[in-house]
Every structure is written in C-alpha cells, then in structure tokens.
A and B are shown apart, each in its own frame.
Chain A
Amino acid sequence: MRTNCVLAGVGGQGILFITKILHDAALTQGFRVMVSETHGMAQRGGSVVSHLRIGDMGSPLVRSGTADVLLVFEYGELSNTVGMLKRGGAAVVNRPSEEDAPSELQTYLKARGVTPHYMDAYGAAAQMGSPLTANVILLGFALSRLSFPMPFESVKETVERLSKEAFRGKNVEALRAGYDWSENGS
C-alpha cells in the first residue's frame, strides 16, 4: 500500500507543521513514511511544497502525475501543483470565497477526472477568531473528504501531542471544525 500526498502553499502557512502531523499520525498507525520538504531560499515568500508518502517506497519525492491526493493551502498554488495528481486523484483546496476557478483549470480537472473539494479556510478561521488555524481547519476538511490510511482520531491525537500548550485547544477545535464543515454552512 502506498499513499502519495502533496501539500502546497506559500511560506509562513505552517505547511511543515501539517506535514508533521500527517507523518507522525501515519507512524503511530504502523506505516513507514517518507517526506520531502522545502527549506532555504524558496521559503522566502516562495511556493512551499511538501511530499508525503505513506507505505513502502524509496524516494521521498512523489513522481509528478501520480499523487493520490493534493492539499492546497493557498489557492494560487493549485495551478502550480495540479499536474502532480494522478488521473482520478482528489484535491482539497483553500479557496477564499472571492476567487473563481479559471476555466482552463476547470477543463483540466474535468479531463483528468480530478475531484476538487473547496472551502474558505481563511474565512472559517477568521470566523472562529483564530486566523492562524486556517491550515489545521483545511487539514480537518481534507480528512473528511479524502482517503488517508489513518483514522481521524489518530490525527486528532497527533495534533494534541504536537501542538504547543497555548494552541492545543484551538488547534483541536479547528481540526474538528474543518472535519465537520459543510458547503451549506452548518
């Protein structure tokens, strides 16, 4: 079994933190993991991409066009990383309500049989009064829409374990809120 996952966004969004939650949760479930991260100059406001592979594999990089799932934390990064997805793959995308998907992107997603799941994680985080938890909200949303080999509970425990004391409560709340989020705003 292999799950190939790509996480994309920009520097400062806490993508390394989300990657850590996922790989640690996978490890507690007894899976082997391999991750590749962005450090250095690219972090300075540039695109940040993490590759996460769960199961037996050699390379830390997901081969382009073979990712099972894609998590996009900054909408503009979707067009940069959508080519990573395999045919029939699934994506979870943070899309502020004011943004519209360009038609070229929609055509590609359709041709490739990719299911995109959108939510406004910035909006949801602002509503909860903790704008910094947008990343964790999107993770919760991803767990409800995409198939990961780890159950929600194990990810939740990992969030509790890895969060700093001051953010623990808020992060768990954010994860739950993302998980329970629905398009008609419940």
Chain B
Amino acid sequence: MVESPPVQRRVMLGNEAVARGLLEAGCRVICSYPGTPSSEILPAALELKREYGLDTYLEWSVNEKVAFDNAYAAALSGKRAACVMKQVGLNVACDSLMSAAYLGTVGGFVVVSCDDPGPHSSQTEQDTRLMGLFAKVPVYDPSTPEEAVDMIAAAFELSEAEKIPVILRPAIRVCHAKQDILQRPIASGAAVADFRKDPMRWAATPKFRYLLHKELNGKLDGIVHEPKWSQGFNKNPMEAAGRSPVGIIAGGVPYVSVLDILSDTGNESVPVLKVGMPHPYPRELLNDFCTRCDHVLVVEETGAMLELILEAFPHVRGRNTGHVPKEGELVPEVIYDCMSRFFSDVGGPSLAPVMDEKEAALLKQVGPVPRRPTLCPGCPHRAAFYSIRKRFPKAIYTSDIGCYTLGLNLGAVDTVLDMGAGLTLGSGFYQAYHQDGREKMIVATMGDSTFYHSGVTALINAVYNQAHLLLVILDNKTTAMTGMQPTPGLGIRADGSPGGVIPLERLVRGCGVDSVITHDPYDLPGFMKALDRAGEIAVEGGVSVLIAEHPCVIAYRDGLEKKTVTVTDACNGCLLCMQRFECPAFELVPGEEKKVRINERLCSGCGVCVHVCRQQAIECA
C-alpha cells in the first residue's frame, strides 16, 4: 500500500466543498433532487457522514418542492437544514420559497440553488439571484469553492439570527470546479427537534400574512445595514477619497475571471468592486463606487441584476449597453472581449488580442466540429425511440427532461419543455386537435425518475380529462443523466438503505390507467408489437401506458452480458445504422464512404442493431 501524504488541504470538487461547508456549519438535514450542476452535493455529504460517523439526515426527495418542504420542517423544528437543487429546480420549489420567506425560520435554513449559465445541461439560463430578489430572501454568490464554504457558514448564522431563509447560488464553475481547500473540523449540530406551535405564524391567514410581509421587509432593511453579513464578501478596493477613470463591478465566477485578466495584462490598478451578497443589494456601496469612477463596467451572471439597480447612472456599461452579451456563459475569453471593448470605448488600458487576424482566420479554417451528445452505445432508450419512430411515424412526440431528451437524434422527440411536460403537453396537444374534430396520435416519453418527480399529477389529469395518448415510460431503473441516483421504484434510499417501493405499474394503475404493458425494448420485434397494441388502446380507450423496462447500461454495467457484434460483407453502405439508429459504436471503415464497421472500444454488445439492418449484415454471437 502507498500511504497518502499528510495534507491539510485537499483538492475538492466545488460540490464536495459545498457539502463539507454544510456539515462544518452543523447542518443536520439535507434534502435534494438531482440536477446538473447540483447533483454531487448530496452524495458528497453522504460520504462525509460516513467518514465522520454523523447522524445527518440525507434524502433524495421525489422533487425539489418536496425537498424544500422536508428540509424546511427540520428548520422549523430548530435544526440547521438545507435543500439542494439546480436553478430550474427552484422553479418547482418556488411556491414554498415565496411563502417561507414570509414565515421565516427557527433553525438556520439554506437553499442551495446551482446556476447553469451557458446553459450546459438545463432548459434556461435563469439567474437565482433574481429569485432571491423576487422572494425577498438574502443571496450569497460565491466566486470559488473555497468562498462557498465561507458563505455557507455566514448563511446559517444570518438565517438563524434574522429568522429568514437564505439562498446560496453557486454557478456551474463553482460546482464543477476543483480547488485545494483547507479542511476545517466538522461540527455536529446538537439541536433536538422541538417544534414550537405558533399558528399565527406557521399557519397564518392572509390578514396575518400582511404583517409577516411587513416583518420580512424590516428584516431585509436590517440585514443590508448590518455590515457583518456581507463582510469579506462585498469588497470595495477604493480608498475613502479615491477616484478612478475606470472601474469594474463583478460578482460570482466572473469576478475571479476579471481579476485574472487584470493580472495577466498588468492592469491590477483598475479597481474591482466585488458583490458577493447581491441581495439585499448594497445600494450605498454600489452608488459610492459608481460616483468615484468615471466609467463603470458591470460583469455579472446570468441576468442584469446589479445593472438594473444602477440604471440611473449613465456611465455604467454592461448587458444593457451592448458591452456584455445578454446570453451565454461569461467564460474568460468572453469577459476579456467585454473588458477590451469597454476600455477602448472609454479610454482605459488597451488589451491586446490573444490571436492576430491571420491566426484567427486560419483557426476558422480548422473548422471545429463539436460532437453532439448522443445516447450511449447499448442505451435501451435508443431501441425504444427507434421503435416509436418506426411504429408511429406521424405522431407528435412529446418528451421530457433526462438522457432520453437525446431521442431528438432519432427523430422521436418533438417537444421538451420542463419536468413532467412530456405528459401535460401530450394531453394538451390531444385536446387542441380533438376540439377541431381531429384525433392526433400522441406518443409521450418520460423517464422513470421524471415520472415520479412530476408525471403522476400529469397522468391523473390526462385520464380525468379523457385525453387519448400513449405514454412510454422509459424505465431504466435509475436517474441516469445526473449520475445514477436511485428512484422510488427501486426501494433504495440515498444511503443505500432499504426504502419503500413504489412500483411503476401499480402507480400507473392507481392514476386510473387500465391498460399498462411492460416490455423490454432490447427485444425490438416484440417491443414494436407491444407498441402497436398499446397504440391501438390509446386510440380507442384513452390513456395507455407502455413501460419500456431495461436497466441503464452505465448504472448496471457490472455483469452486463456482452455479445460480439460484427458487420459482414453484406453491408451495402446505406448507413441506416449510423444515421437513423445513431449508435456511436458504428463507424465508417477508414478510407471508405460506404462501408460500416463496429468500434469495439465503444460497442456495448447489446445486439439490438441486428434487427435494424435491412441487409442482415450485422451479426452477433
């Protein structure tokens, strides 16, 4: 055995640092629903719980609203608690957030909502800071994993002192950054559940809500005027009587990029105001900085919150003046361009381009060809989508959020709105056509975890309102996209201990669906027959459900049966396997345009493609 060197600093993923920060602050309860970029926080907390023998309660909740409420109850019982989700997850929990802001809290309550500028793995680029503004709760916006740890400690203190929920908004470059971080002791929170009844508050009627709203406004006023809550996080480098021809206001991840660029180019003298606590916004600090600088650039992600607050200053530049793009991630090269344009417009220092025009033109010729994401080789969803497209070529395909969004590549996904909308848009399309006397075939697809998350109410609605549609639940026995978290169908909880089992088939029947068929999509011919049958029932009888059941090839890769797949000389180069079936394990034989071979490094050996080839040129043993 090789022994680990003794280090006090450890390289941690931002999400691991967030987990550690929560436990260092004595957080006793963490509830989460997975979603990029937040998914690694709960598993990291679980690992620390085991390492330190803590009694922290950790759960994968069924959705983000459920996670919020479960954690919030712990906070109302006097414990420190947190709920963890991605930014669009906070939309699902928004109802609770808005109301909890009024009610307040007893134990510290922190909402970790991870933003995804880009977006890399989300349906929107929304800005959680603005949710804080909307809900009237404080927000901390870390620039690095290390700062996230410090902010969590402050967030719990603030939450407890002012009795208010607090948001931590780490963006993807904090969540999925890694940094060496000093390991501080883990504090075991000691609070015992002790819910003090106070119906005037916890069950307040509208008349009392007015008073709670007034109280909330008072709390925010107090917080913004108490320097200790933002100390070290809001930083003004200007001296009391200082002035500067140019200045930059930044927060979150863009702040460190701005500092890097100023240091790379020898412009450290340009003052940068850091806003680490964007809500309640530090109006006086912002105003003061703006009056001391002749020209100001605001670099913030992903909205234009600070810029909005500074609208009265005509010398403030940013998204609204075209100096910063209104969409997309502010990666360092984008910020470099923003700063360069700003400086050149206002007579600041000049930033030389990293590439001259000739080089840039040559690079363009190289023609980057980014790979589009695809379903993995052997993914059961591929077999399901291929069959759906084959059997119902004219249907409207409403789909949902998960790996299976990539059914797009197989031409079997027409819509992706948000979690659960595979069903709700499906029933909506049916009704819109039905109203005109037309019966449109609708095939909705949804993963197992998404179905538990928000498909159940949608299915009940479809049955109740007599929509006719075929729902294919892609049951791969895991939450694959976000890192293989267990689902309620498995009866395994976050820590691996046994939980209650909610079998899909029974759940679907419980929603009022009479026709439920379960079939393995790997059996392509049989699955197509099952689709035909389920489709007929949908047309005649209403909602029909086909559960496409096959475990995820990544989550359950151990002990996977692997067949040897080969392409014979019968291949006529029609490329159906590459283009329609779209398995990444097919490739062209080098130097030939019409001859396919199997890339053995990628092939999972599922053998489904044997049924796809019209020439019977694919064999497996």
Q: Which residue of A lies closest to B254 (CB)?
A: A59
User: How far is B257's CA from A43's CA once the two chains are assembled, in angstroms?
Assistant: 25
B369 & A32 in contact (Cβ 8 Å cutoff): no
Q: Which residue of B lies closest to A122 (CB)?
A: B601
B331 & A27 in contact (Cβ 8 Å cutoff): no
B11 & A108 in contact (Cβ 8 Å cutoff): no
A79 & B366 in contact (Cβ 8 Å cutoff): yes
**Given contacts A64-B354, A65-B333, A108-B363, A59 and B253 within 8 Å (CB-CB):** yes
Determine which of B5, B332, B482, B602 lies in contact with A64 in the assembled complex, contact meaning CB atoms within 8 Å. B332
User: Which residues 472-490 of B sit at the A interface, judged by CB distance below 8 A?
Assistant: 481-483
Selected interface stretch from B258-266, B297-305, B458-466: B258-266
Interface residue? A129 (CB, 8 A): no
Selected interface stretch from B171-179, B230-238, B567-575: B171-179
Q: How far apart are A126's CB and chain B's nearest CB, in angstroms? A: 10
Interface residue tally on B, bucketed by range = 35 or more
Residues from chain B with a CB closer than 8 A to the CB of A76 are: 369, 371
User: Which residues 65-89 of A sit at the B interface, judged by CB distance below 8 A?
Assistant: 65-66, 76, 79-80, 82-83, 86-87
Residues from chain A with a CB closer than 8 A to the CB of B11 are: 20, 23-24, 27, 33, 35
Residues from chain B with a CB closer than 8 A to the CB of A173 are: none
User: Which residues 33-62 of A sit at the B interface, judged by CB distance below 8 A?
Assistant: 33-47, 57-62
**Given contacts A40-B482, A44-B403, A34 and B366 within 8 Å (CB-CB):** no
Interface residue? B283 (CB, 8 A): no
Interface residue? A128 (CB, 8 A): no
B7 & A28 in contact (Cβ 8 Å cutoff): yes
Residues from chain A with a CB closer than 8 A to the CB of B264 are: 63, 66
Q: How far apart are A117's CB and chain B's nearest CB, in angstroms? A: 18
Residues from chain A with a CB closer than 8 A to the CB of B288 are: none
B481 & A40 in contact (Cβ 8 Å cutoff): yes
User: Which residues 1-39 of B sit at the A interface, judged by CB distance below 8 A?
Assistant: 2, 4-5, 7, 9-11, 13, 36-37, 39
Determine which of A45, A122, A157 lies in contact with B2 in the assembled complex, contact meaning CB atoms within 8 Å. A157
Interface residue? B144 (CB, 8 A): yes
Interface residue? A183 (CB, 8 A): no
Residues from chain B with a CB closer than 8 A to the CB of A122 are: 601
A62 & B368 in contact (Cβ 8 Å cutoff): no
User: How far is B127's CA from A20's CA once the two chains are assembled, in angstroms?
Assistant: 30
**Given contacts A41-B120, A59-B253, A131-B601, A64 and B333 within 8 Å (CB-CB):** yes
Determine which of A37, A39, A47, A61 lies in contact with B370 in the assembled complex, contact meaning CB atoms within 8 Å. A47
B180 & A44 in contact (Cβ 8 Å cutoff): no
A61 & B373 in contact (Cβ 8 Å cutoff): no
User: How far is B555's CA from A11's CA once the two chains are assembled, in angstroms?
Assistant: 15
B375 & A45 in contact (Cβ 8 Å cutoff): yes
A28 & B5 in contact (Cβ 8 Å cutoff): yes
Q: How far apart are B404's CB and chain A's nearest CB, in angstroms? A: 11
Q: How far apart are A46's CB and chain B's nearest CB, in angstroms? A: 4
Q: Which residue of A lies closest to B601 (CB)?
A: A131
User: Which residues 350-393 of B sit at the A interface, judged by CB distance below 8 A?
Assistant: 354-355, 358-359, 362-363, 365-376
User: How far is B600's CA from A122's CA once the two chains are assembled, in angstroms?
Assistant: 12
A63 & B371 in contact (Cβ 8 Å cutoff): no
Determine which of B261, B362, B482, B590 lies in contact with A63 in the assembled complex, contact meaning CB atoms within 8 Å. B261
Interface residue? B143 (CB, 8 A): yes
User: How far is B367's CA from A68's CA once the two chains are assembled, in angstroms?
Assistant: 22
Q: Which residue of B lies closest to A113 (CB)?
A: B359
A44 & B120 in contact (Cβ 8 Å cutoff): no
Interface residue? B189 (CB, 8 A): no
Q: How far apart are A68's CB and chain B's nearest CB, in angstroms? A: 13
Interface residue? B98 (CB, 8 A): no
Q: How far apart are A148's CB and chain B's nearest CB, in angstroms? A: 16
Chain B interface (Cβ < 8 Å from any Cβ of A): 2, 4-5, 7, 9-11, 13, 36-37, 39-40, 120-121, 143-144, 173, 176-180, 253, 255-257, 259-261, 264, 331-333, 336, 354-355, 358-359, 362-363, 365-376, 403, 405-406, 481-483, 584, 590, 601-602
Query: What are 8 A-B contacts defined by CB distance under 8 Å?
Result: A10-B371, A23-B178, A24-B11, A58-B260, A61-B173, A79-B367, A80-B369, A107-B365
8 additional A-B residue pairs with CB within 8 Å, beyond A45-B374, A63-B331 = A32-B180, A33-B178, A39-B483, A40-B37, A58-B255, A60-B173, A64-B354, A108-B366
